[in-house]
Structure formats: C-alpha cells, structure tokens
Structure 1
Amino acid sequence: MFDVLKRILVDDMQMRAEDITPAVKRTEVGIDSLAVTELATVLNSRLGIEIHDYELLELCTVGDIADLLHERSSAAGDREPTEPHPGNVAPMTLWSAHANAAPTHRP
C-alpha cells in the first residue's frame, strides 16, 4: 500500500518521489494541516477509502498513513486505484499549468 500512497503523493499532490519513504515524517514531505484535507479527498476518490483529515493529522509518518490505508482497504475489500482525474489536480498544479500556458491572442 505504500507504493500506491507514494504514487498518489507524487502524481496528485506533486511531491518529490525521492523524498517519500515510510520513515519520513508526514510534515517533512509537506503533508501539513492543509494538505491532509486534499489527501483525504484524493484517497476517497481514487481508492474508495474513507479517511478523514483529522485521522491523517494524528499520524506521524508516511508509513503510518500507508498502514492506515492498508487497514481500511482490507476492511473495505481492495479496490484498484484509478488514474488521476483532471478535477483531482492539486490547486498549485492548476495554477502552474495556467501560468505556463502559452498566451492566447484574441482578434
């Protein structure tokens, strides 16, 4: 389940893959009080696992989050993760995509 979580953190939340290990503290990779809300939403939509932001805030490491995902997915019956949906893109990613887009010229 750690690999699934890592893929979500990298693909959906634009975190650096090399920074994500089971032992790293969630705050060290940027999973702060704002990011847990987004992560909880992504986990629900991609994996069908209901996890609340306050539950994620109680966990210390990325490995702890993966363990909780494993626990919940086993209880709910494993579901294959879905690909990111354009609506599941982190707000900063949307801003970056807009900021880097080629200017449009209107006649």
Structure 2
Amino acid sequence: MSKSYDSLVSLLVEQFEVREGVASPEKTLGELGVDSLAVVELAVAMDVRWGIKAEDSGIDQKTTLRDAAALVAERTAAQPVEGS
C-alpha cells in the first residue's frame, strides 16, 4: 500500500487500538470500531500529524481507510517542502 495508508494505519493502531491485521483499505472506520467520538479525535490527530484541519477532513464512520489515506496523500502532497 501507499506511505499515507501505512501512516494512517499506524496512527489507528497506536492511538485508537485498531488491530493492525484487521485493517484493510475497504474497511470503514466504523467497521474497525472507531466510534463517533473517536472519529473526532482522529480528525484532531490528523490535524496535528499532517495539518489536515478537522473541519476540512470530511471523515466519519463510513469513511474507508482507502478514502482517508487518499485524503492524507492529497493534503500532504499540497504542503510545501520545508527549506524551499
């Protein structure tokens, strides 16, 4: 999978107790046991880690890991490289 997918799964495993072997691109956050409060916490974590503003993320329990990883990839690709 992509670097953004791997990073997202790592975040879910580390902070949201998602079992790594259960995660797959087509699974939704809800299917992984991420409840509505945890979705909000995930949005905040995505802001801290990748600068994706919670209000701009659009993630919810129906968001697949593939879609969330695509968001991470899209938003981090648009960020300027430090030192440029």
TM-score range (shorter-chain normalised) is: 0.7 to 0.9
User: Which of 27, 35, 56 is the aligned partner of 1:24?
Assistant: 27
Residue of 3, 12, 15 corresponding to 2:15:
12
Would the alpha carbon gap of residues 77 and 6 (structure 1) be closer, same or farther in structure 2, given more than 3 Å must change? farther
Aligned counterpart, 1:61: 64
**RMSD in angstroms over aligned alpha carbons?**
2.3
* Equivalent-residue separation in structure 2 for 1:61 and 1:45 (angstroms): 21
Q: Which runs of 5 or more structure 2 residues have no equivalent in the other structure?
A: none
TM-score under structure 1 length normalisation: 0.63
* Structure label with greater radius of gyration: 1
Shift of 1:55: 0.6
* Percent sequence identity over aligned pairs: 34
Q: 2:23 is matched by which residue type in structure 1?
A: I
**What TM-score, normalized by structure 2, do the two folds share?**
0.78
Counterpart amino acid of 1:68? L
Query: Structure 1: 5+ residue runs without aligned partners?
Result: 80-107
Q: Give the conservation status (yes or no) of the 8 Å contact 2:12–2:18.
A: yes
After superposition, what is the alpha-carbon deviation per residue over 1:19-69, rounded to whole angstroms, capped at 9, x for unaligned? 111111221002232111000111111222223387102853111111111
User: Size of the alignment, in residue pairs?
Assistant: 79
